[in-house]
Amino acid sequence: MRVMKFGGTSVGNAVAIDRTARIIADAYRGDGRLVAVVSAMSGVTNQLIAAAQAAAEGDEQAAARLQQELVERHRGAAAELIPTAARLEATVSRLTELATRCARLVESVHVLRDLSPRAQDWIVSFGERMSAVLIAAVLEERGIPAVPVDSDKVIVTDDHFGSANPLLDETRARAEAILVPLLEAGKLPVVTGFFGATPKGAVTTLGRGGSDFSASILAHALDADEVWIWTDVDGVMTADPRLVPSARTLPAISFAEATELAYFGAKVIHPRTMQPAAERGIPIWIKNTFNPEHPGTRIGPDTSSNGSVVKAITAIPGVSVITVEGSGFLSVADVTARVFETVGRTGVNVFMVFQASSQHSLGFVVRRTDASKVLRALEREFELDLLKGRVARLWEEPGMAIVAVVGAGMRGTPGVAGRVFGTLGQHRINIVAIAQGSSELNISFVIREDEVARAVPAIHDAFGLGGSAGERSAGS
Amino acid sequence: MRVMKFGGTSVGNAVAIDRTARIIADAYRGDGRLVAVVSAMSGVTNQLIAAAQAAAEGDEQAAARLQQELVERHRGAAAELIPTAARLEATVSRLTELATRCARLVESVHVLRDLSPRAQDWIVSFGERMSAVLIAAVLEERGIPAVPVDSDKVIVTDDHFGSANPLLDETRARAEAILVPLLEAGKLPVVTGFFGATPKGAVTTLGRGGSDFSASILAHALDADEVWIWTDVDGVMTADPRLVPSARTLPAISFAEATELAYFGAKVIHPRTMQPAAERGIPIWIKNTFNPEHPGTRIGPDTSSNGSVVKAITAIPGVSVITVEGSGFLSVADVTARVFETVGRTGVNVFMVFQASSQHSLGFVVRRTDASKVLRALEREFELDLLKGRVARLWEEPGMAIVAVVGAGMRGTPGVAGRVFGTLGQHRINIVAIAQGSSELNISFVIREDEVARAVPAIHDAFGLGGSAGERSAGS
Amino acid sequence: MRVMKFGGTSVGNAVAIDRTARIIADAYRGDGRLVAVVSAMSGVTNQLIAAAQAAAEGDEQAAARLQQELVERHRGAAAELIPTAARLEATVSRLTELATRCARLVESVHVLRDLSPRAQDWIVSFGERMSAVLIAAVLEERGIPAVPVDSDKVIVTDDHFGSANPLLDETRARAEAILVPLLEAGKLPVVTGFFGATPKGAVTTLGRGGSDFSASILAHALDADEVWIWTDVDGVMTADPRLVPSARTLPAISFAEATELAYFGAKVIHPRTMQPAAERGIPIWIKNTFNPEHPGTRIGPDTSSNGSVVKAITAIPGVSVITVEGSGFLSVADVTARVFETVGRTGVNVFMVFQASSQHSLGFVVRRTDASKVLRALEREFELDLLKGRVARLWEEPGMAIVAVVGAGMRGTPGVAGRVFGTLGQHRINIVAIAQGSSELNISFVIREDEVARAVPAIHDAFGLGGSAGERSAGS
Amino acid sequence: MRVMKFGGTSVGNAVAIDRTARIIADAYRGDGRLVAVVSAMSGVTNQLIAAAQAAAEGDEQAAARLQQELVERHRGAAAELIPTAARLEATVSRLTELATRCARLVESVHVLRDLSPRAQDWIVSFGERMSAVLIAAVLEERGIPAVPVDSDKVIVTDDHFGSANPLLDETRARAEAILVPLLEAGKLPVVTGFFGATPKGAVTTLGRGGSDFSASILAHALDADEVWIWTDVDGVMTADPRLVPSARTLPAISFAEATELAYFGAKVIHPRTMQPAAERGIPIWIKNTFNPEHPGTRIGPDTSSNGSVVKAITAIPGVSVITVEGSGFLSVADVTARVFETVGRTGVNVFMVFQASSQHSLGFVVRRTDASKVLRALEREFELDLLKGRVARLWEEPGMAIVAVVGAGMRGTPGVAGRVFGTLGQHRINIVAIAQGSSELNISFVIREDEVARAVPAIHDAFGLGGSAGERSAGS
């Protein structure tokens, strides 16, 4: 049994939906046991958030305008893909009803002038609800017994609205109660991606790109054989092709490598997707709706070594380096402990930490948008120490990017760091910070944001990642 | 006015003392205002500690044997250097009295079967006390009005026995009361290095190599023009010449660079020496007693750029990397805070910290001899988290070394890291960890201890540090 | 200038409003400079909260029903008190409009199935908005130039919805811009009590009984001469008259005593009311709308000593004693620190702390409704210590009450504790815990909740608080 | 088998030793299985400490003088009690050798000018070593096969010099190896009280009054039937007889009551004595050497209720109340946590904690001699909060005393607190602070030190503790 997830561009318009429906139909006719997970039509999620925010800020027309746009967009696609008039009418009626419910929520946000994370998650879920109805109808039109399923009935989560965590045991019980009977009856469930609900029923989203995560959670709950993530690229690439024209698709990588790539900025897959699948050893395939013959990338428990120690290069732009400069009065351990207690209280995510100097200065990397919050908290914490000179300075360097060079084979392979930093040197790119631990499968460093466009292609080139297979070895 | 410090090898035997006495005499005759700071004769400090430890552990003969050895060694040198019988007799009598006092302390340690840090500091101070008496007598013999001065009367410190911190204001007051009148009377004070005393008079040592520190403290207290550290090498070298035969002496480096080199293992100068001198902008010269014509190295407020971005390479062998591997349940900030609160309580010194991975693993470097203490403390702190899987693992990798590549010019110069790590790659030396922050003047990394002997020469070579001046530029 | 506040029962129906209007009119005619602060009609606040909660839980009719009830209740009172048809019509129209706006908010809560603290504060504010419109109209009818003023335009607060803290400087600026011109034009502002707004305009309430606080805040902002809190009792009493029939009204108490009484359960005044008035030394009078001739209680900077060391007795029922029993392995200081760090993280309010035993057991008092949250947090914190026997036990004793005996004169007066506890002994009431610090003006202890009804009258009696003045001295 | 301990006054001079020897001889002849534990002759411990301190501070003669005094004092008693010349000579020779060894330690302290806790413990142990030799010889003279045993061979402890903690398992093993064979051979071991040694053999003392503790530890190790503490009073008294002439000896109290009394100042027994005996349920008898017919006090697992709820009253003079006054900005929990973290770091013992006021002031009690250390630490911790007014004040009230009224029966008995505090009131004694928790068997409060002499007799009287049995009930 497979779980197949189709992202926003795979259901972005009538042509894309037609293509997606064909893929689903072929797969269903192949082995008959299939769960489809669908995202909202591309752009719809942003439209929903924008309308809800406008309503909260006082826009009187936001709800009405949203309703109209939702109906028109989905009805347009339905009209093209569902020739049977009765089915079209029933489908449009169902879509209209969903759009009306959604608009009512937005109108309420307008009245209360407040968009809570909880309300936003609920409103946003309507994108997937509508696309699931539409796609199930298109499949039915083609003779496939598809049934739209709302994932707030299946995926149970905690109440971290905006990036909820799945409760896997409860989800498994629900999947057995709801999805398994459908599968056993020969139906094809078309499940909404991206959201679940708390045990009490409040809708929660799983974070941006969460439909991948939904597919992995359902695969775990149903003991699926494989997860197929259908997207608009051929697979996980050696680098962002906008930066590196010669970037290639990787045939296979490990769960750990994929997690590292996703953590350090690769957008093809949601960072948390790997975890449920990896826990059960279920391989994840990345496939291209627009090029379904391409084999794609297999993310699996192991990765056949192909002689390449570096697999791919990713970057996170828009980060800041924050530095706390001691003055020797406080020990490294004490300053570090106090800095991270303080950062911990802000709830801000820390990407890298590095300390290595007699000056006792400690650096770390956070998102640019989190930096001033962190700085203010540190200034409060060290107010007295700054006054008394026990801490010399605290400052932020914005406009930075983290670049991560990833590959499990680099553990124990000499020369990788040399090639990475040698390449940067040849291109006269200054390195702001480096942190690399033993037993890691990546080298991460900080450079100026405006040098990413030169750095990534250069490293890609240095490891022959875009060239012919014969050149792809490092460290020699 | 200059403060000149002579290390153990500069006063190691009659020949060396003769040479040292000539240097002092020449300098005194030059401008007449001079303070000499002397270490114990080479080997004596270790002899004192060994005897005290043996006594504490029950050796009945330790005190008597020590007394005899101290007298013989110093009397031997005195006999060679002081032909005038009356002065020789007076000097030997004074040396014998010091040895007797010292032996009495060691005997008391034996009786109490306990060598406290306080008692050890006191016992150890007799090495310098005896060498100061000896050298002052030799100088007198040559017509120089030298006066031995015990530094526990001048340098005031806190009570951190074994590595005390100077109290600079109190020391200045004492220096004015004791040393200035001597200088004004045309005398040459021969001050014992290495130790001071608490305000209540308990003798304290300033840490291994503390005689350099003594000289810098006295220079600060006396507003000296220069500090000259006379030792057995020509100056600060580009690398340890035992590792790198082509290592060269550096003509000049900055206080910050010298501090970094000392912190990361360079033995020519005590790490804390730079601070008092730097505070007043007093240059420190490193000079060779055995080659006094060599200009040596000038450590000063600024350093004339000679086109070289890398100045020198140092290494600390005998360290361990400790890694705490999270499992995503705890945030990076929280784990880091708790790790370093715990390490802080152990009092152990941390050399490097690095974290950069989606695995939330955090690494840091401590001395091998401190590692098990730190590990045990972390195991206690994370006992419950390990049990519950919130922390995956804690482990030590022993047998490691930190290598630091130092040079103020590397800030903002691209290519240095590339050349460093590229060189390691070419020599197939695996890099265990890297941590480098922005605004630092060193690149530090961890490799296996047994690869230091290959790594340091290779980097030294790569930056042309040993070659002719023309080759010494990096980054091109 | 005076600020007069009228509570819910003072505006509870036509008869009460008539009485209140007369009091306001008399005061206005007296010196002409007056600000009235009004609560919602009694019961309306609860009605608003109940409707909002019902709506959030799915009640389809809650909003419509609420609108009808609000209009009917306020229109009924208006019809009785405003004979002039045109004014009545205009007033009812304004009241209806407010009820409609409120119902629309409740309907939105229904749609979103979520009552956020922010939405609740906004909805609840409509009780005061309607009563201010009604009372201003009644006053106008009587020839007083009253103007209803919404306090979200005047009182600026932080964003702790449900119990916001005033920002006094911003409030002063607003009061000068809005209220001072009205007062200078001879108008009588009828300001809504209980709520303010954040600087961005989100409505916030000041906590239960917050209208008292509103009056005190406005008095501070306007440098008023006095605050009069009109309520349904004659003043601050020596005890709750339902428990103690002989309880008397106190003619005067100090700010500190009133704060202590309010903190420990006296309901006549909101605990935080004293602070703004005390900061400017503005006396607060407690007066009875139903008995305006009674002099009431004056709460002021000082209190004329009338020979009585104990002023009043209060009680907080519904609390639990939580005890952490050490076993001597951990020090008192360490256990105490960890207990209160943990409690601090829960945000729960602690009423009393006591520790005095070789057993190292530490006790403290929280509300019964907070106890299980605190216990769970402590169980997590001490999980390992309980397992290893370093902490013996953690437990809750529910069904307890704190009783506080208050009076500034007890500082330095012997015999008060003796009389208090002696009285309890005579009535065979067991004392569960006592905590009293030096320099305090109260004695607080814990007894079983079901003994409050015996304890309070007995102590009241013992100090002669209800008797004739001649008997009111203690300690002799 | 019994362990009998004889304190300093029981071995203070020839007459006392004669009496003690008779008691031991009688007991030995009774059942033959007996271990005697002896303290140093009264005054000797202080003499040893004084000599060691004088030596450390430079007194040249301290060691010689000490040796002479020790020999004279013990030889004097020996001469009176051992008529047999050969035995006397052998005993004096052994005593002289011990005094010489001790003097040598003191001389070494003099040379090193430093009295470490470790050296002090070793020196102090010679008091018991000499008395054990003396008493064993006196017993031998009377035909009892007594053998002096040094407790550093038997009692194993950790290395907290000055108040070491026993390691019971190791001690049991040693007792089985050393004492059991002696007992089985019919010998009477005369064991030195007060000290043990670390596993490595460094001598450690168990704290003032530690000979009681030694006896209890040995009873635990040997599974003794009873411990008899022979002292100079008839037993545990209802109060200090110097304060309360009518104080009576209690026939029986529980382990818990005795612990509480010892913790709160009763000097008859060392606070930690109860723990090893209680762990094995071994009763401890307090008996009077000078009045051996008196039954004494039995401290046991249970205590026959004799109708008295209050058993005894103790006091700790010389304490200070420290108060931290918040200002409402910080929560009670947060202030309490920070205060006790800070106090915990100082290592100071806290006797009582109390907090109960809207002012958020927190009080606690420490020894006067610890107060300034604690205050300074708190001032540092709250430096910024004091500056910003988040903490209003920190202060010490010296000259205070804790009084504890103890009795297991007071749990659940109403009226005890009333009688206690009523009595204080009648005597016009002001109560500074009270802290009492549920489930405790004592009421503790703070009064002025100079009122202890009035307070304790008054309470003693109020509970009829000194009167005839008929009056001894409370709470009615």
Report d(CA C20, CA C14) in Å as an integer. Answer: 10
- Among B23-32, B413-422, C272-281, D355-364, the range scoring the smallest mean pLDDT is D355-364
What pLDDT, in 10s, does the model give residues A223-261? 999 999 999 889 999 999 999 999 999 999 999 899 889
- Three-state SS at D451: helix
Quote the distance between the C-alpha of residue A336 and its chain's center.
31
At A240, give phi and psi (nearest 5°).
Answer: -65, 120
Is A301 within a domain? no
Mean pLDDT of chain A: 90
Q: Cβ B323–A355 below 8 Å, yes or no?
A: no
Test mutation, A257, A323, A336, chain B, max B CBs within 10 A? A336
Percent of chain A with pLDDT strictly greater than 90: 67
One-letter amino acid at C210 equals: G
Test mutation, A108, A109, A126, chain C, max C CBs within 10 A? A108
Handedness of CA D384, D387, D392, D397 (dihedral sign): positive
What pLDDT, in 10s, does the model give residues A165-194? 999 999 999 999 999 999 999 999 999 999
| Chain position carrying tokens 């004015």 | B176
Is the same domain home to C318 and C203? no
The candidate with the shortest Cα–Cα distance to C240, out of C93, C43, C460, C81, is: C460
Interface residue ranges in chain C relative to chain A, Cβ cutoff 8 Å: 104-105, 107-114, 116, 118-119, 122, 202
Q: What is the pLDDT, as a whole number, of residue C307? A: 61
C259 in a known ligand binding site: no
Is the same domain home to D97 and D198? yes
- Among A468-472, B37-41, D417-421, the range scoring the smallest mean pLDDT is A468-472
Is the same domain home to D458 and D316? yes
Mean pLDDT of C100-124: 96
Q: What is the pLDDT, as a whole number, of residue D391? A: 84
CATH number at residue D461: 3.30.2130.10
Is A209 within a domain? yes
Which chain B residue lies closest to A406 (C-alpha atoms)? B357
Residue C344 predicted with pLDDT over 90: no
The candidate with the shortest Cα–Cα distance to A9, out of A138, A125, A131, A99, is: A131
Quote the distance between the C-alpha of residue C280 and its chain's center.
20
Q: Which residues of chain B does C383 touch, with a Cβ-Cβ cutoff of 8 Å?
A: 384
D15 in a known ligand binding site: no
- B334 vs chain A: nearest CA distance in angstroms? 5
Q: Cβ D357–C423 below 8 Å, yes or no?
A: no
The candidate with the shortest Cα–Cα distance to C14, out of C146, C142, C97, C134, is: C134
Is the same domain home to D321 and D455? yes
- Would you say C260 and C352 are in contact if contact means Cβ atoms under 8 Å apart? no
Q: Which two tokens stand for residue A119?
A: 């309300």
Q: What is the pLDDT, as a whole number, of residue A476? A: 34
Q: Which residues of chain C does D321 touch, with a Cβ-Cβ cutoff of 8 Å?
A: 437-438
- Among A139-143, B358-362, D54-58, D277-281, the range scoring the smallest mean pLDDT is B358-362
- C123 vs chain A: nearest CA distance in angstroms? 9
Report d(CA B217, CA B208) in Å as an integer. Answer: 15
Is A426 within a domain? yes
- B105 vs chain D: nearest CA distance in angstroms? 6
Is the same domain home to B227 and B316? no
Is D431 within a domain? yes
SS percent in chain C: helix, strand, coil, step 5? 45, 20, 30
pLDDT class for B355, splitting at 50, 70, 90?
Answer: confident
Nearest to C116 among A116, A122, A202 (CB): A116
What pLDDT, in 10s, does the model give residues A328-339? 667 778 888 889
How far, CA to CA in Å, does C145 sit from each of C33, C141, C227, C343, D403? Answer: 12, 9, 21, 52, 66
Is the same domain home to B15 and B164? yes
At C83, give phi and psi (nearest 5°).
Answer: -65, -35
DSSP state of B153: G
Is the same domain home to B128 and B227? yes
Size of interface A-B (CB pairs under 8 A): 247
Q: Which long-range contacts (CB under 8 A, 24 or more apart) does C447-452 make?
A: C447/C400, C447/C401, C447/C403, C448/C399, C448/C400, C448/C401, C449/C317, C449/C318, C449/C399, C449/C400, C449/C401, C450/C399, C451/C401, C452/C243, C452/C315, C452/C317, C452/C401, C452/C403
Is B450 within a domain? yes
Q: What is the pLDDT, as a whole number, of residue B473? A: 36
Q: Cβ C118–A122 below 8 Å, yes or no?
A: no
Is the same domain home to D20 and D137? yes
DSSP state of B17: H
| Chain position carrying tokens 């819910």 | C8
What pLDDT, in 10s, does the model give residues B385-397? 888 778 888 999 9
| Structural domain for D464, as ranges | 312-471
Highest mean predicted confidence (pLDDT) among C269-278, C332-341, C454-463: C454-463
Is the same domain home to D453 and D340? yes
pLDDT class for D442, splitting at 50, 70, 90?
Answer: confident
Beta bridge mates, B219? none
Q: What is the pLDDT, as a whole number, of residue D266? A: 82
pLDDT class for B304, splitting at 50, 70, 90?
Answer: low
Q: What is the pLDDT, as a whole number, of residue B88? A: 97
Nearest to A437 among B357, B413, B444 (CB): B357
User: Where is the domain boundary, D231, D259, D289?
Assistant: D231
User: Where is the domain boundary, D231, D260, D281?
Assistant: D231
Question: ipTM greater than 0.85, yes or no?
Answer: no
Q: Cβ A437–B358 below 8 Å, yes or no?
A: no
C336 in a known ligand binding site: no
Test mutation, C381, C384, C385, C391, chain B, max B CBs within 10 A? C384
As for how many domains chain A has, the answer is 2
Mean pLDDT of chain C: 90
Q: Which residues of chain B does C384 touch, with a Cβ-Cβ cutoff of 8 Å?
A: 383-384
Residue A473 predicted with pLDDT over 60: no
Q: Which residues of chain C does D363 touch, with a Cβ-Cβ cutoff of 8 Å?
A: 437-438
The candidate with the shortest Cα–Cα distance to B175, out of B193, B157, B153, B200, is: B153
Which chain B residue lies closest to A351 (C-alpha atoms)? B356
Q: Cβ D383–A384 below 8 Å, yes or no?
A: yes
Is the same domain home to D323 and D206? no
What pLDDT, in 10s, does the model give residues D53-101? 999 999 999 999 999 999 999 999 999 999 999 999 999 999 999 999 9
pLDDT class for B135, splitting at 50, 70, 90?
Answer: very high
Report d(CA B444, CA B314) in Å as an integer. Answer: 9
Test mutation, C263, C334, C348, C434, chain D, max D CBs within 10 A? C434
How far, CA to CA in Å, does D213 sit from each of B41, D35, D232? Answer: 52, 14, 17
The candidate with the shortest Cα–Cα distance to B74, out of B12, B4, B159, is: B12
What pLDDT, in 10s, does the model give residues A73-97? 999 999 999 999 999 999 999 999 9
Please report all neighbours of D, defined by 3+ CB atom pairs within 8 A: A, B, C
Q: Cβ A112–C112 below 8 Å, yes or no?
A: yes
CA angle D179, D182, D183 (to 5 degrees): 85
Q: Cβ C114–A109 below 8 Å, yes or no?
A: no
Nearest to B108 among D108, D118, D202 (CB): D108
**Beta-sheet pairing, D252-254 with D297-300:** parallel
Region of B106 on the Ramachandran plot (φ > 0 left; ψ -120 to 50 alpha; else beta): alpha
List CB contacts of D460: < 8 A, sequence separation 6 or more.
Answer: D238, D239, D244, D246, D247, D313, D466
Q: Cβ D260–C426 below 8 Å, yes or no?
A: no
Which chain D residue lies closest to A384 (C-alpha atoms)? D384
Q: What is the dihedral of CA D139, D144, D147, D148, to 10 degrees?
A: -20
Q: Which residues of chain D does A384 touch, with a Cβ-Cβ cutoff of 8 Å?
A: 383-384
Mean pLDDT of D217-232: 95
Q: What is the pLDDT, as a whole number, of residue D469? A: 40
Q: Quickly list DSSP for B259-304.
A: HHHHHTT--SS-GGGHHHHHHHT--EEEEETT-TTS--EEEESS--
- Would you say C328 and D260 are in contact if contact means Cβ atoms under 8 Å apart? no
The candidate with the shortest Cα–Cα distance to D426, out of C421, B349, C40, B82, is: C421
Size of interface B-D (CB pairs under 8 A): 43
- How long a stretch of residues is chain C? 476
Mean pLDDT of C434-457: 87
Test mutation, D67, D105, D108, chain B, max B CBs within 10 A? D108
Quote the distance between the C-alpha of residue D285 and its chain's center.
15
User: Where is the domain boundary, A213, A231, A249?
Assistant: A231
- Among A49-53, B296-300, C224-228, D428-432, the range scoring the smallest mean pLDDT is D428-432
Q: What is the pLDDT, as a whole number, of residue B77? A: 96
- A70 vs chain B: nearest CA distance in angstroms? 38
Is the same domain home to D317 and D194? no
B20 in a known ligand binding site: no
- A383 vs chain D: nearest CA distance in angstroms? 8
Size of interface C-D (CB pairs under 8 A): 246
Percent of chain C with pLDDT strictly greater than 90: 67
Is D238 within a domain? no
Q: Cβ A383–D383 below 8 Å, yes or no?
A: no
The candidate with the shortest Cα–Cα distance to A4, out of A201, A204, A231, A194, is: A231
Helices in B281-361 by DSSP H: which ranges? 332-346
Is A321 within a domain? yes
Test mutation, D338, D345, D384, chain A, max A CBs within 10 A? D384
CATH number at residue C150: 3.40.1160.10
Q: Which residues of chain A does D383 touch, with a Cβ-Cβ cutoff of 8 Å?
A: 384
What pLDDT, in 10s, does the model give residues C387-400? 877 888 899 999 99
CA atoms within 13 A on the CB side of C84: 11
Which chain A residue lies closest to C201 (C-alpha atoms)? A113
**Beta-sheet pairing, A391-406 with A442-448:** antiparallel
Is the same domain home to D75 and D218? yes
Report d(CA A194, CA A207) in Å as an integer. Answer: 7
Residue C325 predicted with pLDDT over 90: no
Which chain C residue lies closest to B385 (C-alpha atoms)? C384
Instruction: Supply the pTM of this predicted model.
Output: 0.77
Size of interface A-D (CB pairs under 8 A): 3
D128 in a known ligand binding site: yes
- Would you say A156 and A114 are in contact if contact means Cβ atoms under 8 Å apart? no
Please report all neighbours of C, defined by 3+ CB atom pairs within 8 A: A, B, D
Is B118 within a domain? yes
Nearest to C418 among D353, D423, D440 (CB): D423
DSSP state of A407: -
Q: What is the pLDDT, as a whole number, of residue B120? A: 96
